[in-house]
Amino acid sequence: MSGSPNAGPGLTVIPFGPQHPVLPEPLHFDLTLQDEKVVDAIPQIGYIHRGLEMLVEKRDFTDYVHVAERICGICSFMHGMGYCEAIETIMDLTVPDRGRWLRTFWCELERVHSHLMWLGLAADAFGFENLFHATWRAREIVLDVAEETAGGRVIYGSCIVGGTSTNPENETLDRCVKELSKVRAETIRLAEVFIGEPTVRHRLEKVGVLGRGKAYALGAVGPMLRASGVDYDMRRKGYEAYPELTFATMVETSGDCMARAKVRIREIDESLRLLGEIVARMPGGPVAVPVKGAPEGEGWVRVEQPRGEALYFVRANGKRNPERFRVRTPTFANIPAMVEVMVGSQLADVPTIILTIDPCISCTER
Amino acid sequence: MSEHETHEVENISTNLLLQTVDSLLLDGWRLIQVLALSTTEGYEVNYSFGGGYAMKTLRLHVGPKQSVPSITSYYAAAAYYENEMRDLFGVRIERIHPDWHNDIMGEKTPRAFSRVRVQGTSVERPVPLDAPPVPLASSPAADAQEGAIK
Amino acid sequence: MGGVERSIWIVHYDASSCNGCDIEVLACLTPVYDAERFGCIVTGDPKQADLLLVTGGVNNRNVEVLKSIYGQMPEPRAVVAIGACAYSGGVFSECYNVCGGVATAIPVDVYVPGCAAKPESILDGVLRAAAILKERRVALRSAPRNAKKGSTEEGARR
Ligand code: SF4
């Protein structure tokens, strides 16, 4: 591999990964060091590459949702939804109101679950095992709500082409919102501990700074971009029920690891508030429209996942099996920025930097 | 849906690629993604750019042997997409920097999307690994095993 | 040693899973499911582990990693394959880069069903594997010392 720098005088190349101290997933970097300073970082991918984009040729377009959901178990619902939206744009299907609002509900639920998970892992990486357990206990409530409303804890399985497959009762949703209010109180408490702790601040502040212009030019998305001061959130673009909702985009300006942490923590709070609003305004009626025929044409969809903007592309030729499916996931878009931040940082900060980018390797490699 | 109103697809020829990309860069567009498809004539390569929430896609049609110039000198982020695309599809891309030399996905990853395969047919499974024989598990395992498949 | 059970040291490897099962494995360790009450401790070091939890199927790149992790583990050892993917490749079984379940690379003792596997069943799988481990430990101890060189060393030491 070229790209791999020849270790010159005073330079050392060390492999970082694939098995990791900070993540359960295998991610591999070749780091070139000069003393303790990283001068180059080259990612290697492919440990989790499955090739699921090609599976679309063998699956009926309505069945492929199940595969799309399993691009990543953390943002599973949104992956399924992105695929469904792409098919729906091709086939000109209009999802009924209740279906749209339910999808939005699950999207926000997933954002809460993902960010809470991140908060827990971050706490664990800093050695706050206590905080890790407390966060994950709060997160279990979110998963219970998911199980009760959608049917699955991590893989929801509730999104189908044309709408949703489950239709929870309004009373269930109300009860869920009550449960979630506990999470909100708990999160605020935990986040204060996390952010206020001097050791955490010492390790996050002014570490891994990504400037505004660079973040935008390198194609960073999601919390990574917003932490650098760019107000960019695909939800603003309006899909599902988002055009009818008002919500704040969390923007920080310092661009360091702390800013990225703060953006996520604020988003948990905002999403929990949004969940309450969604349930309060949940319309009635059917949740799905019947799907007839087969798609023909191409659809491009962009949605905002917990980690940022994801792009879905489907091309179909009028047969039951589409021709090509493509997903550009947020972590893939964040890799160039991640490498940029790593170069010039201290080796000891590399795990922190990787952590605050919240990489999802499974969806990066598909 | 509103997203599609602001998305335009433009067919361009390969020799105009760099020129067009250059002007997009000057206009402040950023790269969203690069995507390849195998078609009956060769490959189709799509470059999507974003400016604010708007999206613009440049579409190239290239023959199986034809090479495409890399846009990494304009957009550094394109390197990952281009390397991956060359790995999986076999699209010829010139002067990518940094270049993984067909190794970004690991050398054993099959080049599954490549033009070599026949359109629409399934790919052969990779050669079975020389695995040690699976021992017949003791009773609890066997129970769980039965549970797993149904 | 009579009534005393050993605590199980676990190493977790994510083969090509979708993360769904991974986060459920992590959830097992947290207060609601709390695997630690059974004495399970997660370690990152295969050389100290008794039990290997694998999520996801095997692909062409990680098969070597998986084999090497398994190879580093001391005897007696057991493997739990979690989720439909680890059984056969699951939804991805027809993907070009998925060779199949974990059993195509290393021997598996317990399969945990589900996609995603639920924490309850993961715990159940771990406990069943613990029983298998115990049997193996007994067998190893009664085996003649130098019958299997190297691999029994660890068992004998314990
Ligand atoms: S079994 Fe299902 S949930 Fe688990 S890793 Fe595989 S696809 Fe994901």
Q: Using an 8 Å Cβ cutoff, are A222 and A307 in contact?
A: yes
Ligand 1 atom having least distance to the Cα of C114: 1
The full set of domain ranges for chain C reads 8-157
Alpha carbon distance B58, C108 (integer Å): 49
Q: Find the length of chain A.
A: 366
Q: CB-based contacts of C144: which residues, under 8 Å, 6+ apart? A: none
User: Is B113 touching A (CB cutoff 8 A)?
Assistant: yes
| CA nearest neighbour of B87 among A365, A200, C64 | A365
B2 assigned to some structural domain:
no
The alpha carbon of C19 and the centre of ligand 1 are apart by a number of angstroms equal to 7
Backbone angles phi, psi at A9, to 5 degrees: -65, 130
B1 assigned to some structural domain:
no
CB C55 less than 6 A from any atom of ligand 1: yes
Q: CB-based contacts of B32: which residues, under 8 Å, 6+ apart? A: A219, A311, A328, A333, B48, B49, B50, B55
- Which of A36-40, A209-213, B116-120, C51-55 comes out lowest in average pLDDT? B116-120
Q: Output the six-digit token pair for A53.
A: 């984009």
A70 assigned to some structural domain:
yes
Q: What's the CATH number where B126 sits? A: 3.30.460.80
Per-residue pLDDT at B117 = 35
Could you tell me the sign of the dihedral formed by the alpha carbons of C96, C101, C102, C106, in that order? negative
Q: CB-based contacts of B116: which residues, under 8 Å, 6+ apart? A: B90
Q: Which of C61, C63, C112 lies closest to B144 in CB terms?
A: C112
CB C29 less than 6 A from any atom of ligand 1: no
B115 assigned to some structural domain:
yes
**Domain containing residue B13:** 7-149
A13 assigned to some structural domain:
no
Could you tell me whether strands B43-51 and B30-38 are parallel, antiparallel, or unpaired per DSSP bridges?
antiparallel
- pLDDT exceeds 80 at position A33: no
Per-residue pLDDT at A245 = 80
Distance in angstroms between the alpha carbons of the first and the last residue of chain C: 11
3-state secondary structure of A91: helix
Helix (H) / strand (E) containing B10: strand B7-11
User: Is A49 touching C (CB cutoff 8 A)?
Assistant: yes
**What's the complex ipTM?**
0.74
Q: Provide the shortest C-alpha distance from residue A145 to chain B (in Å).
A: 26
Inspect the interface and report whether the beta carbons of B141 and C111 lie closer than 8 Å: yes
Return the CATH number of C8-157, one of 3.40.50.12280, 3.10.150.10, 3.40.640.10, 3.80.10.10.
Answer: 3.40.50.12280
Which residue's CA is the nearest one to ligand 1's atom 2? C115
Q: Find the length of chain C.
A: 158
B80 assigned to some structural domain:
yes
Alpha carbon distance A148, A145 (integer Å): 5
A343 assigned to some structural domain:
yes
Domain count, chain B: 1
pLDDT, tens digit (0-9, with 9 covering 90-100), for B55-96: 888 888 887 777 787 887 777 777 778 777 777 776 777 776
B81 assigned to some structural domain:
yes
Per-residue pLDDT at C5 = 66
The alpha carbon of A221 and the centre of ligand 1 are apart by a number of angstroms equal to 26
Domain count, chain A: 1
B97 assigned to some structural domain:
yes
Q: Output the six-digit token pair for A24.
A: 């359960």
Q: A–B: how many Cβ contacts below 8 A? A: 91
B119 assigned to some structural domain:
yes
CA distances from A6 to A9, A10, A11, A13, A39 (A): 9, 11, 8, 8, 12
pLDDT, tens digit (0-9, with 9 covering 90-100), for C29-83: 888 888 778 778 777 777 888 888 888 888 777 787 788 888 888 878 888 888 8
The alpha carbon of C18 and the centre of ligand 1 are apart by a number of angstroms equal to 5
pLDDT, tens digit (0-9, with 9 covering 90-100), for C103-137: 888 888 888 888 888 888 888 888 888 888 888 88
3 state SS for A110-156: HHHHHHHHHHHHHHHHCCCHHHHHHHHHHHHHHHHHHHHHCCCCCCC
> What number is the average pLDDT over the span A114-126?
83
A79 assigned to some structural domain:
yes
Cis peptide preceding A43, ω within 30 of 0: no
User: Is C70 touching B (CB cutoff 8 A)?
Assistant: no
Alpha carbon distance B49, B29 (integer Å): 6
Q: Using an 8 Å Cβ cutoff, are C70 and C102 in contact?
A: no
| Residue A98 pLDDT grade (very low, low, confident, very high; cuts 50, 70, 90) | confident
CA atoms within 13 A on the CB side of C119: 19
| CA nearest neighbour of C23 among A351, A224, A180, A25 | A25
- pLDDT exceeds 50 at position A38: yes
The alpha carbon of C17 and the centre of ligand 1 are apart by a number of angstroms equal to 6
CB C76 less than 6 A from any atom of ligand 1: no
B141 assigned to some structural domain:
yes
Ligand 1 atom having least distance to the Cα of C83: 1
CA distances from A310 to A55, A166, B29, C95 (A): 19, 24, 17, 22
- pLDDT exceeds 80 at position A325: yes
